[in-house]
Structure 1
Amino acid sequence: MSLDEAAPGYGYIWEYRSNADPWDAEQVPKWTQFPSATSLAIENAKNQQSKEIFIENNYRIDLEKYVQQHTIDLHRQRPIRRRRLLLQHDLINNSSDSESIKSHRERMSYCLGAPQRCSTTRDMSYYGSSFVDDWLFLFSHGKLAITFDTIFPALFNGLITEGKNQETHILNDIEKSLRTAQQKTNGQPDEDRITELEVCCARLYTKESYVYCMTNNALRDDDRTKLVTLGPFCYLLFNYIARCLKQKPSIRHRLRQFLHSNKTDTIILYRGDRASENTIHEYRQAAGDKSQYFKWLPFISTSRKKEEADKFAQDVMYIIAIESQLSNEDRFAFMAPISEYINEDEYLLLPGLQFQVKKVEFNNTQGLYYVHIKIISSYISKLH
Protein backbone atom coordinates (compact mmCIF):
# COMPACT_ATOMS: atom_id res chain seq x y z
CA MET A 1 0.00 0.00 0.00
CA SER A 2 1.30 3.44 -0.89
CA LEU A 3 1.17 6.45 1.36
CA ASP A 4 -1.24 8.11 -1.09
CA GLU A 5 -3.71 5.27 -0.66
CA ALA A 6 -3.40 5.51 3.10
CA ALA A 7 -3.75 9.28 3.33
CA PRO A 8 -5.37 10.58 6.51
CA GLY A 9 -8.70 12.37 6.23
CA TYR A 10 -9.65 15.82 7.41
CA GLY A 11 -12.58 18.21 7.47
CA TYR A 12 -13.04 21.95 7.97
CA ILE A 13 -14.50 24.21 10.61
CA TRP A 14 -15.24 27.93 10.40
CA GLU A 15 -14.09 30.51 12.93
CA TYR A 16 -14.39 34.25 13.49
CA ARG A 17 -11.84 36.54 15.08
CA SER A 18 -13.23 37.49 18.47
CA ASN A 19 -10.72 40.08 19.73
CA ALA A 20 -12.26 43.34 20.99
CA ASP A 21 -10.63 44.96 17.97
CA PRO A 22 -10.63 42.16 15.40
CA TRP A 23 -8.48 44.15 12.96
CA ASP A 24 -5.62 44.96 15.34
CA ALA A 25 -2.58 43.29 13.77
CA GLU A 26 -0.49 43.83 16.91
CA GLN A 27 -2.66 41.55 19.05
CA VAL A 28 -2.41 37.79 19.11
CA PRO A 29 -5.56 36.72 17.22
CA LYS A 30 -8.26 34.97 19.18
CA TRP A 31 -10.35 32.70 16.99
CA THR A 32 -13.74 31.35 18.10
CA GLN A 33 -15.52 28.54 16.32
CA PHE A 34 -18.99 29.15 14.92
CA PRO A 35 -21.68 26.82 16.31
CA SER A 36 -21.51 23.44 14.58
CA ALA A 37 -24.68 23.94 12.54
CA THR A 38 -23.55 27.39 11.40
CA SER A 39 -20.08 26.11 10.55
CA LEU A 40 -21.58 23.30 8.49
CA ALA A 41 -23.88 25.73 6.66
CA ILE A 42 -20.94 27.98 5.77
CA GLU A 43 -18.89 24.98 4.60
CA ASN A 44 -21.75 23.77 2.40
CA ALA A 45 -22.08 27.23 0.88
CA LYS A 46 -18.34 27.27 0.23
CA ASN A 47 -18.47 23.87 -1.46
CA GLN A 48 -21.36 25.07 -3.63
CA GLN A 49 -19.17 28.01 -4.69
CA SER A 50 -21.58 30.55 -3.22
CA LYS A 51 -20.21 34.06 -2.80
CA GLU A 52 -22.11 34.71 0.42
CA ILE A 53 -24.41 33.23 3.02
CA PHE A 54 -26.61 34.84 5.70
CA ILE A 55 -26.53 33.42 9.21
CA GLU A 56 -28.40 34.08 12.45
CA ASN A 57 -30.58 36.66 10.63
CA ASN A 58 -28.12 39.45 11.43
CA TYR A 59 -24.89 38.53 9.67
CA ARG A 60 -23.65 38.17 6.14
CA ILE A 61 -20.67 35.90 5.48
CA ASP A 62 -18.61 37.11 2.53
CA LEU A 63 -16.97 33.98 1.10
CA GLU A 64 -14.77 35.93 -1.28
CA LYS A 65 -13.23 38.35 1.23
CA TYR A 66 -13.65 36.06 4.26
CA VAL A 67 -15.41 38.68 6.34
CA GLN A 68 -18.45 38.58 8.62
CA GLN A 69 -20.58 41.72 8.26
CA HIS A 70 -23.59 42.88 10.29
CA THR A 71 -26.57 43.28 7.99
CA ILE A 72 -27.75 46.55 9.62
CA ASP A 73 -24.53 48.19 10.78
CA LEU A 74 -22.32 47.51 7.76
CA HIS A 75 -19.24 48.86 9.56
CA ARG A 76 -19.39 46.01 12.07
CA GLN A 77 -17.10 43.53 10.42
CA ARG A 78 -14.59 40.92 11.53
CA PRO A 79 -12.35 38.40 9.75
CA ILE A 80 -13.39 34.79 9.42
CA ARG A 81 -11.41 31.77 8.35
CA ARG A 82 -11.80 28.18 7.24
CA ARG A 83 -9.56 25.97 9.36
CA ARG A 84 -8.54 22.41 8.74
CA LEU A 85 -9.59 19.78 11.26
CA LEU A 86 -7.37 16.74 10.94
CA LEU A 87 -9.01 13.47 11.93
CA GLN A 88 -6.49 12.12 14.43
CA HIS A 89 -7.83 8.60 14.48
CA ASP A 90 -7.19 8.32 10.74
CA LEU A 91 -3.68 9.73 10.93
CA ILE A 92 -1.68 6.69 12.00
CA ASN A 93 -3.97 3.92 13.19
CA ASN A 94 -4.67 1.90 10.07
CA SER A 95 -4.18 -1.78 10.81
CA SER A 96 -3.60 -2.63 7.14
CA ASP A 97 -0.53 -0.40 6.86
CA SER A 98 2.97 -1.82 6.95
CA GLU A 99 5.29 -0.89 9.81
CA SER A 100 7.39 1.25 7.46
CA ILE A 101 4.37 3.34 6.45
CA LYS A 102 3.28 3.76 10.07
CA SER A 103 6.78 4.83 11.08
CA HIS A 104 6.96 7.31 8.20
CA ARG A 105 3.63 8.83 9.21
CA GLU A 106 4.64 9.13 12.84
CA ARG A 107 7.84 10.99 11.95
CA MET A 108 6.07 13.31 9.53
CA SER A 109 3.29 14.06 12.04
CA TYR A 110 5.50 14.51 15.11
CA CYS A 111 4.81 17.88 16.76
CA LEU A 112 7.93 20.04 16.47
CA GLY A 113 6.95 22.30 19.36
CA ALA A 114 7.49 26.03 19.62
CA PRO A 115 10.77 27.13 18.03
CA GLN A 116 13.44 28.87 20.06
CA ARG A 117 14.55 32.38 19.30
CA CYS A 118 18.29 32.46 18.73
CA SER A 119 21.17 34.54 17.43
CA THR A 120 23.89 33.80 14.90
CA THR A 121 26.39 35.40 17.26
CA ARG A 122 25.79 32.46 19.61
CA ASP A 123 25.99 29.83 16.90
CA MET A 124 27.92 26.78 18.05
CA SER A 125 29.44 23.73 16.50
CA TYR A 126 26.74 21.20 15.69
CA TYR A 127 24.66 24.05 14.31
CA GLY A 128 23.33 25.08 17.68
CA SER A 129 22.36 21.66 19.07
CA SER A 130 23.54 22.21 22.63
CA PHE A 131 22.21 18.77 23.63
CA VAL A 132 24.62 17.04 21.25
CA ASP A 133 27.39 19.51 21.95
CA ASP A 134 27.17 19.11 25.72
CA TRP A 135 26.97 15.33 25.54
CA LEU A 136 30.12 15.17 23.42
CA PHE A 137 32.02 17.46 25.78
CA LEU A 138 30.98 15.52 28.89
CA PHE A 139 31.40 12.06 27.39
CA SER A 140 34.88 12.78 26.02
CA HIS A 141 35.93 14.72 29.14
CA GLY A 142 36.53 17.78 27.01
CA LYS A 143 38.78 16.01 24.48
CA LEU A 144 36.04 15.79 21.79
CA ALA A 145 37.47 12.43 20.66
CA ILE A 146 35.24 9.37 20.29
CA THR A 147 36.22 5.75 19.67
CA PHE A 148 34.02 2.83 18.69
CA ASP A 149 34.87 0.93 21.87
CA THR A 150 33.78 3.84 24.06
CA ILE A 151 30.62 4.89 22.26
CA PHE A 152 29.20 1.45 21.40
CA PRO A 153 28.47 0.32 24.99
CA ALA A 154 27.13 3.79 25.83
CA LEU A 155 24.80 3.65 22.80
CA PHE A 156 23.73 0.07 23.46
CA ASN A 157 23.06 0.50 27.17
CA GLY A 158 21.34 3.84 26.63
CA LEU A 159 18.81 2.55 24.08
CA ILE A 160 18.10 -0.62 26.06
CA THR A 161 17.62 1.40 29.26
CA GLU A 162 15.17 3.77 27.55
CA GLY A 163 13.29 0.80 26.12
CA LYS A 164 12.98 -1.16 29.35
CA ASN A 165 9.18 -0.92 29.25
CA GLN A 166 8.89 -1.76 25.55
CA GLU A 167 7.87 -5.06 24.02
CA THR A 168 10.57 -7.72 23.97
CA HIS A 169 10.61 -8.13 20.19
CA ILE A 170 11.34 -4.41 19.73
CA LEU A 171 14.29 -4.54 22.11
CA ASN A 172 15.55 -7.74 20.47
CA ASP A 173 15.42 -6.07 17.06
CA ILE A 174 17.41 -3.07 18.29
CA GLU A 175 19.97 -5.29 20.01
CA LYS A 176 20.34 -7.41 16.87
CA SER A 177 20.89 -4.33 14.68
CA LEU A 178 23.56 -2.95 16.99
CA ARG A 179 25.34 -6.29 17.40
CA THR A 180 25.35 -6.79 13.64
CA ALA A 181 27.03 -3.41 13.12
CA GLN A 182 29.57 -4.33 15.79
CA GLN A 183 30.41 -7.75 14.33
CA LYS A 184 30.33 -6.62 10.70
CA THR A 185 33.09 -4.08 11.29
CA ASN A 186 35.21 -6.09 13.69
CA GLY A 187 38.88 -5.55 12.84
CA GLN A 188 38.21 -2.54 10.60
CA PRO A 189 39.60 0.97 11.22
CA ASP A 190 37.83 2.84 14.00
CA GLU A 191 36.51 5.53 11.68
CA ASP A 192 34.85 2.91 9.45
CA ARG A 193 33.29 1.21 12.46
CA ILE A 194 31.79 4.47 13.72
CA THR A 195 30.49 5.25 10.22
CA GLU A 196 28.70 1.89 10.15
CA LEU A 197 27.26 2.65 13.58
CA GLU A 198 25.94 5.98 12.27
CA VAL A 199 24.16 4.16 9.44
CA CYS A 200 22.74 1.67 11.94
CA CYS A 201 21.34 4.54 14.05
CA ALA A 202 19.79 6.15 10.97
CA ARG A 203 18.05 2.86 10.14
CA LEU A 204 16.81 2.52 13.71
CA TYR A 205 15.42 6.05 13.49
CA THR A 206 13.25 5.09 10.50
CA LYS A 207 11.84 1.95 12.09
CA GLU A 208 8.58 1.75 14.03
CA SER A 209 9.81 1.82 17.61
CA TYR A 210 10.24 4.11 20.58
CA VAL A 211 13.63 5.41 19.41
CA TYR A 212 12.66 8.31 17.14
CA CYS A 213 9.97 9.59 19.51
CA MET A 214 12.03 9.44 22.70
CA THR A 215 14.98 11.01 20.92
CA ASN A 216 12.98 13.95 19.60
CA ASN A 217 11.12 14.41 22.88
CA ALA A 218 14.44 14.73 24.69
CA LEU A 219 15.77 17.21 22.12
CA ARG A 220 12.56 19.24 21.84
CA ASP A 221 12.21 19.55 25.61
CA ASP A 222 15.98 19.88 26.15
CA ASP A 223 15.63 17.10 28.73
CA ARG A 224 19.09 16.77 30.25
CA THR A 225 18.05 13.72 32.27
CA LYS A 226 18.28 11.86 28.94
CA LEU A 227 21.77 13.11 28.11
CA VAL A 228 23.55 9.89 29.15
CA THR A 229 21.06 7.44 27.62
CA LEU A 230 20.14 9.22 24.38
CA GLY A 231 23.18 11.44 23.84
CA PRO A 232 25.17 8.74 21.97
CA PHE A 233 22.29 8.05 19.57
CA CYS A 234 21.72 11.77 18.91
CA TYR A 235 25.43 12.27 18.26
CA LEU A 236 25.66 9.36 15.80
CA LEU A 237 22.47 10.28 13.93
CA PHE A 238 23.67 13.88 13.78
CA ASN A 239 26.94 12.72 12.24
CA TYR A 240 25.08 10.53 9.76
CA ILE A 241 23.43 13.67 8.43
CA ALA A 242 26.58 15.76 8.73
CA ARG A 243 28.83 13.17 7.07
CA CYS A 244 30.68 15.69 4.95
CA LEU A 245 31.51 17.66 8.08
CA LYS A 246 33.30 14.62 9.49
CA GLN A 247 35.18 14.21 6.21
CA LYS A 248 36.02 17.90 6.44
CA PRO A 249 38.68 19.23 4.10
CA SER A 250 40.94 21.85 5.57
CA ILE A 251 39.31 24.97 6.95
CA ARG A 252 41.36 27.01 4.50
CA HIS A 253 40.05 24.96 1.56
CA ARG A 254 36.42 25.27 2.66
CA LEU A 255 36.81 28.99 3.26
CA ARG A 256 38.32 29.47 -0.19
CA GLN A 257 35.40 27.59 -1.77
CA PHE A 258 32.89 29.61 0.22
CA LEU A 259 34.38 33.00 -0.65
CA HIS A 260 34.94 32.38 -4.34
CA SER A 261 31.87 30.45 -5.38
CA ASN A 262 28.96 32.27 -7.00
CA LYS A 263 26.92 29.14 -7.61
CA THR A 264 23.74 29.10 -5.56
CA ASP A 265 21.09 26.39 -5.56
CA THR A 266 17.82 26.42 -3.67
CA ILE A 267 16.14 23.29 -2.38
CA ILE A 268 12.51 23.54 -1.28
CA LEU A 269 11.26 21.17 1.40
CA TYR A 270 7.84 20.94 3.06
CA ARG A 271 6.70 20.09 6.56
CA GLY A 272 3.18 20.05 8.01
CA ASP A 273 2.78 20.69 11.73
CA ARG A 274 0.71 22.07 14.59
CA ALA A 275 1.33 25.60 15.82
CA SER A 276 -0.33 27.83 18.40
CA GLU A 277 -1.66 31.29 17.59
CA ASN A 278 1.12 32.71 19.76
CA THR A 279 3.74 30.99 17.61
CA ILE A 280 2.06 32.16 14.40
CA HIS A 281 1.92 35.70 15.82
CA GLU A 282 5.66 35.54 16.53
CA TYR A 283 6.26 34.46 12.96
CA ARG A 284 4.15 37.33 11.62
CA GLN A 285 6.04 39.85 13.74
CA ALA A 286 9.38 38.47 12.55
CA ALA A 287 8.49 38.04 8.87
CA GLY A 288 10.97 39.83 6.65
CA ASP A 289 13.13 40.95 9.59
CA LYS A 290 16.66 39.71 8.93
CA SER A 291 17.65 40.28 12.56
CA GLN A 292 15.15 37.69 13.84
CA TYR A 293 16.23 34.04 14.03
CA PHE A 294 14.53 30.85 15.20
CA LYS A 295 15.51 27.22 15.49
CA TRP A 296 13.82 23.90 16.19
CA LEU A 297 15.54 21.59 18.63
CA PRO A 298 14.58 18.08 17.37
CA PHE A 299 15.44 16.30 14.14
CA ILE A 300 12.99 17.47 11.45
CA SER A 301 11.41 15.09 8.93
CA THR A 302 10.48 16.88 5.70
CA SER A 303 9.48 16.02 2.13
CA ARG A 304 10.21 17.39 -1.33
CA LYS A 305 6.54 16.70 -2.12
CA LYS A 306 4.12 19.33 -0.89
CA GLU A 307 1.17 16.97 -1.18
CA GLU A 308 2.93 14.49 1.11
CA ALA A 309 3.59 17.06 3.84
CA ASP A 310 0.03 18.37 3.43
CA LYS A 311 -1.37 15.09 4.74
CA PHE A 312 0.08 15.83 8.16
CA ALA A 313 -0.50 19.59 8.40
CA GLN A 314 -2.94 20.54 11.15
CA ASP A 315 -2.41 24.28 11.47
CA VAL A 316 0.65 25.16 9.43
CA MET A 317 2.62 24.21 6.35
CA TYR A 318 6.28 25.16 6.46
CA ILE A 319 7.80 25.92 3.08
CA ILE A 320 11.51 25.55 3.74
CA ALA A 321 14.09 27.09 1.43
CA ILE A 322 17.67 25.91 1.75
CA GLU A 323 19.98 28.06 -0.32
CA SER A 324 23.44 26.64 -0.80
CA GLN A 325 26.76 27.56 -2.25
CA LEU A 326 28.45 24.44 -3.52
CA SER A 327 27.04 21.60 -1.41
CA ASN A 328 25.09 22.00 1.78
CA GLU A 329 24.10 18.38 2.09
CA ASP A 330 25.65 18.50 5.54
CA ARG A 331 22.41 20.13 6.68
CA PHE A 332 20.10 17.26 5.74
CA ALA A 333 20.08 13.64 4.65
CA PHE A 334 17.88 11.89 2.11
CA MET A 335 16.64 8.85 4.01
CA ALA A 336 15.64 6.60 1.09
CA PRO A 337 18.95 4.68 0.94
CA ILE A 338 18.51 3.33 4.46
CA SER A 339 14.70 3.24 4.82
CA GLU A 340 12.65 0.05 4.72
CA TYR A 341 9.91 1.95 2.86
CA ILE A 342 10.63 1.66 -0.87
CA ASN A 343 8.89 4.94 -1.79
CA GLU A 344 10.58 6.95 0.95
CA ASP A 345 10.82 10.68 0.21
CA GLU A 346 11.99 11.90 3.61
CA TYR A 347 14.69 14.51 4.06
CA LEU A 348 15.90 14.66 7.65
CA LEU A 349 17.19 18.04 8.86
CA LEU A 350 19.78 18.53 11.57
CA PRO A 351 18.53 19.65 14.99
CA GLY A 352 19.28 23.27 15.78
CA LEU A 353 19.29 24.61 12.22
CA GLN A 354 18.57 28.32 12.32
CA PHE A 355 15.93 29.90 10.12
CA GLN A 356 14.38 33.24 9.28
CA VAL A 357 10.71 33.78 8.50
CA LYS A 358 10.23 35.33 5.07
CA LYS A 359 6.42 35.42 4.83
CA VAL A 360 3.29 34.22 6.66
CA GLU A 361 -0.08 33.85 4.95
CA PHE A 362 -3.32 32.06 5.71
CA ASN A 363 -4.74 29.92 2.93
CA ASN A 364 -8.52 29.72 3.38
CA THR A 365 -8.86 27.06 0.71
CA GLN A 366 -6.57 24.69 2.57
CA GLY A 367 -7.40 26.03 6.03
CA LEU A 368 -3.71 26.36 6.88
CA TYR A 369 -1.05 28.93 7.59
CA TYR A 370 1.73 28.87 5.02
CA VAL A 371 4.97 29.90 6.70
CA HIS A 372 7.84 30.51 4.29
CA ILE A 373 11.21 30.11 5.99
CA LYS A 374 14.83 30.22 4.93
CA ILE A 375 17.47 28.04 6.56
CA ILE A 376 20.49 30.08 7.62
CA SER A 377 24.06 28.81 7.46
CA SER A 378 26.24 30.88 9.74
CA TYR A 379 29.87 31.75 9.07
CA ILE A 380 30.94 29.78 12.13
CA SER A 381 29.11 26.68 10.94
CA LYS A 382 30.93 26.76 7.63
CA LEU A 383 34.29 26.52 9.39
CA HIS A 384 33.55 23.32 11.30
Structure 2
Amino acid sequence: MADRGTETKGSGIWYWKSNPDPWSETQYAQWTTFFGIENEIIERAYLNKIGHASLENYIIDFTDMVQVHRKEKHKKRPVKRDILSTVNSDDCVLGPGLLSPGEPGEVCRVVWEWAKQENDSCHILKEENAAEIIDKAADGILVEGKLLKREAEGRQFADGLKTMKGKSLDELSVCCVALYATESFMYKLVTRTLQEDDLSKITTIGPFGFLLNNALWRLRSTGNFTVYRGVNMDRIKLVEYKSHIGKV
Protein backbone atom coordinates (compact mmCIF):
# COMPACT_ATOMS: atom_id res chain seq x y z
CA MET A 1 0.00 0.00 0.00
CA ALA A 2 1.31 3.48 -0.90
CA ASP A 3 2.66 5.81 1.75
CA ARG A 4 -0.25 8.02 2.76
CA GLY A 5 2.07 10.94 3.44
CA THR A 6 3.11 11.16 -0.23
CA GLU A 7 -0.39 11.04 -1.74
CA THR A 8 -2.08 14.01 -3.39
CA LYS A 9 -5.40 15.11 -1.93
CA GLY A 10 -8.35 13.72 -3.84
CA SER A 11 -6.24 11.49 -6.10
CA GLY A 12 -7.57 8.13 -4.90
CA ILE A 13 -10.40 6.00 -6.33
CA TRP A 14 -11.69 3.33 -3.96
CA TYR A 15 -13.19 -0.08 -4.81
CA TRP A 16 -14.79 -2.97 -2.94
CA LYS A 17 -14.49 -6.57 -4.12
CA SER A 18 -17.94 -7.54 -5.40
CA ASN A 19 -17.46 -11.24 -6.15
CA PRO A 20 -20.15 -13.58 -4.75
CA ASP A 21 -17.30 -15.01 -2.65
CA PRO A 22 -14.87 -12.12 -2.10
CA TRP A 23 -12.25 -14.43 -0.58
CA SER A 24 -12.20 -17.03 -3.37
CA GLU A 25 -8.81 -17.60 -4.95
CA THR A 26 -10.32 -19.17 -8.09
CA GLN A 27 -13.00 -16.62 -9.05
CA TYR A 28 -12.07 -13.76 -11.37
CA ALA A 29 -11.71 -10.63 -9.22
CA GLN A 30 -14.57 -8.13 -9.66
CA TRP A 31 -14.16 -4.65 -8.21
CA THR A 32 -16.93 -2.05 -7.82
CA THR A 33 -16.27 1.65 -7.33
CA PHE A 34 -17.37 3.65 -4.32
CA PHE A 35 -19.08 6.53 -6.11
CA GLY A 36 -19.24 10.22 -5.32
CA ILE A 37 -19.46 11.30 -1.72
CA GLU A 38 -18.60 7.85 -0.31
CA ASN A 39 -15.30 7.90 -2.19
CA GLU A 40 -14.61 11.39 -0.84
CA ILE A 41 -15.32 10.29 2.74
CA ILE A 42 -12.97 7.32 2.42
CA GLU A 43 -10.25 9.31 0.68
CA ARG A 44 -10.34 12.12 3.24
CA ALA A 45 -10.00 9.71 6.15
CA TYR A 46 -7.20 7.85 4.36
CA LEU A 47 -5.17 10.98 3.61
CA ASN A 48 -5.69 12.27 7.14
CA LYS A 49 -4.13 9.01 8.38
CA ILE A 50 -7.22 8.00 10.35
CA GLY A 51 -7.51 4.28 11.08
CA HIS A 52 -10.88 3.87 9.38
CA ALA A 53 -13.62 5.66 7.42
CA SER A 54 -17.27 5.57 8.51
CA LEU A 55 -20.03 5.11 5.92
CA GLU A 56 -23.73 4.60 6.60
CA ASN A 57 -23.64 0.79 6.61
CA TYR A 58 -19.94 -0.01 6.56
CA ILE A 59 -16.60 0.74 8.18
CA ILE A 60 -13.56 0.88 5.90
CA ASP A 61 -10.61 -0.52 7.86
CA PHE A 62 -7.35 0.85 6.42
CA THR A 63 -5.14 -1.48 8.47
CA ASP A 64 -6.57 -4.67 6.95
CA MET A 65 -7.99 -2.91 3.84
CA VAL A 66 -11.44 -4.40 4.31
CA GLN A 67 -15.03 -3.21 4.32
CA VAL A 68 -16.85 -4.34 7.48
CA HIS A 69 -20.63 -4.35 7.84
CA ARG A 70 -21.65 -2.21 10.82
CA LYS A 71 -24.28 -4.60 12.21
CA GLU A 72 -22.93 -7.94 10.99
CA LYS A 73 -19.24 -7.72 11.77
CA HIS A 74 -18.48 -11.09 10.20
CA LYS A 75 -19.39 -9.71 6.77
CA LYS A 76 -16.15 -8.38 5.32
CA ARG A 77 -14.90 -7.67 1.84
CA PRO A 78 -11.50 -6.50 0.56
CA VAL A 79 -11.14 -2.89 -0.59
CA LYS A 80 -8.43 -1.29 -2.68
CA ARG A 81 -7.29 2.15 -3.78
CA ASP A 82 -6.12 3.21 -7.22
CA ILE A 83 -4.70 6.55 -8.32
CA LEU A 84 -7.04 8.67 -10.43
CA SER A 85 -4.64 8.80 -13.36
CA THR A 86 -4.94 5.01 -13.81
CA VAL A 87 -8.69 5.11 -14.46
CA ASN A 88 -9.58 4.31 -18.09
CA SER A 89 -11.50 7.26 -19.50
CA ASP A 90 -13.36 4.93 -21.90
CA ASP A 91 -15.14 3.40 -18.90
CA CYS A 92 -16.99 6.58 -18.00
CA VAL A 93 -18.75 9.46 -19.67
CA LEU A 94 -19.67 12.93 -18.55
CA GLY A 95 -23.25 14.05 -19.02
CA PRO A 96 -24.77 17.50 -18.61
CA GLY A 97 -26.31 18.37 -15.25
CA LEU A 98 -30.06 18.52 -14.78
CA LEU A 99 -30.54 22.13 -13.72
CA SER A 100 -30.98 25.04 -16.09
CA PRO A 101 -30.56 28.61 -14.86
CA GLY A 102 -33.61 29.65 -16.94
CA GLU A 103 -34.20 33.19 -18.15
CA PRO A 104 -32.92 36.30 -16.35
CA GLY A 105 -34.91 36.90 -13.19
CA GLU A 106 -36.44 33.43 -13.22
CA VAL A 107 -36.23 31.66 -9.85
CA CYS A 108 -37.67 28.29 -8.85
CA ARG A 109 -40.71 28.61 -6.62
CA VAL A 110 -39.10 26.78 -3.69
CA VAL A 111 -36.19 29.23 -3.78
CA TRP A 112 -38.47 32.25 -4.13
CA GLU A 113 -40.72 31.18 -1.25
CA TRP A 114 -37.70 30.56 1.00
CA ALA A 115 -36.27 34.00 0.22
CA LYS A 116 -39.64 35.65 0.95
CA GLN A 117 -39.87 33.89 4.30
CA GLU A 118 -36.36 34.90 5.27
CA ASN A 119 -36.87 38.61 4.42
CA ASP A 120 -35.86 40.89 1.58
CA SER A 121 -32.17 40.78 2.47
CA CYS A 122 -31.98 37.21 1.15
CA HIS A 123 -33.29 38.05 -2.31
CA ILE A 124 -29.74 38.87 -3.36
CA LEU A 125 -26.65 36.93 -2.28
CA LYS A 126 -24.07 39.30 -0.80
CA GLU A 127 -20.88 38.78 1.14
CA GLU A 128 -22.66 40.25 4.17
CA ASN A 129 -25.34 37.52 4.28
CA ALA A 130 -23.46 34.60 2.70
CA ALA A 131 -22.28 33.01 5.97
CA GLU A 132 -25.80 33.01 7.44
CA ILE A 133 -27.28 31.42 4.32
CA ILE A 134 -24.48 28.85 4.18
CA ASP A 135 -25.28 27.79 7.77
CA LYS A 136 -28.98 27.43 6.93
CA ALA A 137 -28.22 25.44 3.79
CA ALA A 138 -25.85 23.15 5.73
CA ASP A 139 -28.47 22.59 8.44
CA GLY A 140 -31.06 21.70 5.80
CA ILE A 141 -28.70 19.22 4.16
CA LEU A 142 -28.09 17.51 7.52
CA VAL A 143 -31.85 17.18 8.08
CA GLU A 144 -32.44 15.63 4.64
CA GLY A 145 -29.45 13.31 5.03
CA LYS A 146 -30.87 12.03 8.31
CA LEU A 147 -34.34 11.51 6.80
CA LEU A 148 -32.82 9.47 3.96
CA LYS A 149 -30.50 7.57 6.33
CA ARG A 150 -27.50 9.07 4.50
CA GLU A 151 -26.14 10.99 7.45
CA ALA A 152 -22.45 10.53 6.57
CA GLU A 153 -23.04 11.98 3.10
CA GLY A 154 -25.06 14.83 4.59
CA ARG A 155 -22.27 15.68 7.02
CA GLN A 156 -19.71 15.63 4.22
CA PHE A 157 -21.79 18.04 2.15
CA ALA A 158 -22.54 20.34 5.09
CA ASP A 159 -18.88 20.45 6.16
CA GLY A 160 -17.75 21.18 2.60
CA LEU A 161 -20.23 24.01 2.28
CA LYS A 162 -19.24 25.54 5.62
CA THR A 163 -15.60 25.77 4.52
CA MET A 164 -16.78 28.45 2.09
CA LYS A 165 -17.65 30.92 4.85
CA GLY A 166 -15.36 33.92 4.47
CA LYS A 167 -14.45 32.98 0.89
CA SER A 168 -15.37 35.01 -2.18
CA LEU A 169 -18.79 34.62 -3.81
CA ASP A 170 -17.08 33.20 -6.90
CA GLU A 171 -15.43 30.48 -4.80
CA LEU A 172 -18.76 29.77 -3.10
CA SER A 173 -20.43 29.48 -6.50
CA VAL A 174 -17.90 26.93 -7.74
CA CYS A 175 -18.31 24.93 -4.52
CA CYS A 176 -22.13 24.84 -4.81
CA VAL A 177 -22.01 23.61 -8.41
CA ALA A 178 -19.39 20.98 -7.49
CA LEU A 179 -21.50 19.73 -4.57
CA TYR A 180 -24.59 19.56 -6.74
CA ALA A 181 -22.74 17.61 -9.44
CA THR A 182 -21.33 15.04 -6.98
CA GLU A 183 -22.81 11.54 -7.22
CA SER A 184 -24.94 11.36 -4.06
CA PHE A 185 -28.47 11.75 -2.75
CA MET A 186 -28.19 15.54 -3.08
CA TYR A 187 -28.35 16.04 -6.84
CA LYS A 188 -31.41 13.79 -7.09
CA LEU A 189 -33.15 15.45 -4.16
CA VAL A 190 -32.35 19.02 -5.18
CA THR A 191 -33.33 18.46 -8.81
CA ARG A 192 -36.61 16.76 -7.92
CA THR A 193 -37.48 19.40 -5.33
CA LEU A 194 -36.88 22.32 -7.68
CA GLN A 195 -38.47 20.72 -10.72
CA GLU A 196 -41.60 19.63 -8.84
CA ASP A 197 -41.91 22.82 -6.75
CA ASP A 198 -42.02 20.66 -3.62
CA LEU A 199 -42.86 23.33 -1.05
CA SER A 200 -42.48 20.84 1.82
CA LYS A 201 -38.71 21.24 1.30
CA ILE A 202 -38.61 25.06 1.53
CA THR A 203 -36.73 25.11 4.85
CA THR A 204 -34.28 22.29 4.08
CA ILE A 205 -33.58 22.61 0.33
CA GLY A 206 -34.57 26.26 -0.15
CA PRO A 207 -31.29 27.75 1.17
CA PHE A 208 -29.06 25.50 -0.94
CA GLY A 209 -31.33 26.03 -3.95
CA PHE A 210 -30.91 29.76 -3.42
CA LEU A 211 -27.11 29.44 -3.34
CA LEU A 212 -27.12 27.16 -6.39
CA ASN A 213 -29.39 29.47 -8.38
CA ASN A 214 -27.09 32.40 -7.58
CA ALA A 215 -24.05 30.28 -8.45
CA LEU A 216 -25.37 29.38 -11.89
CA TRP A 217 -26.16 32.99 -12.70
CA ARG A 218 -22.90 34.27 -11.27
CA LEU A 219 -20.80 31.79 -13.23
CA ARG A 220 -22.82 32.22 -16.42
CA SER A 221 -22.30 35.98 -16.27
CA THR A 222 -18.58 35.33 -16.82
CA GLY A 223 -19.34 33.49 -20.09
CA ASN A 224 -20.94 30.29 -21.33
CA PHE A 225 -20.23 27.21 -19.25
CA THR A 226 -21.43 23.62 -18.93
CA VAL A 227 -22.11 21.72 -15.70
CA TYR A 228 -21.16 18.02 -15.80
CA ARG A 229 -21.76 15.07 -13.57
CA GLY A 230 -20.74 11.44 -13.94
CA VAL A 231 -23.28 8.85 -15.12
CA ASN A 232 -23.10 5.08 -15.59
CA MET A 233 -23.81 3.69 -19.08
CA ASP A 234 -23.53 0.40 -20.89
CA ARG A 235 -21.54 0.33 -24.15
CA ILE A 236 -24.62 0.69 -26.40
CA LYS A 237 -25.84 3.77 -24.53
CA LEU A 238 -22.31 5.18 -24.55
CA VAL A 239 -22.08 4.93 -28.35
CA GLU A 240 -25.54 6.49 -28.69
CA TYR A 241 -24.58 9.33 -26.34
CA LYS A 242 -21.35 10.07 -28.21
CA SER A 243 -23.23 10.20 -31.52
CA HIS A 244 -25.24 13.16 -30.19
CA ILE A 245 -22.29 15.24 -28.99
CA GLY A 246 -22.45 18.70 -30.56
CA LYS A 247 -26.17 18.47 -31.28
CA VAL A 248 -28.86 20.45 -29.46
Q: TM-score, normalized by length of structure 2?
A: 0.46
Q: TM-score, normalized by length of structure 1?
A: 0.32
More helix by share: 2
Which structure's CA Rg is the greater one? Answer: 1
More strand by share: 1
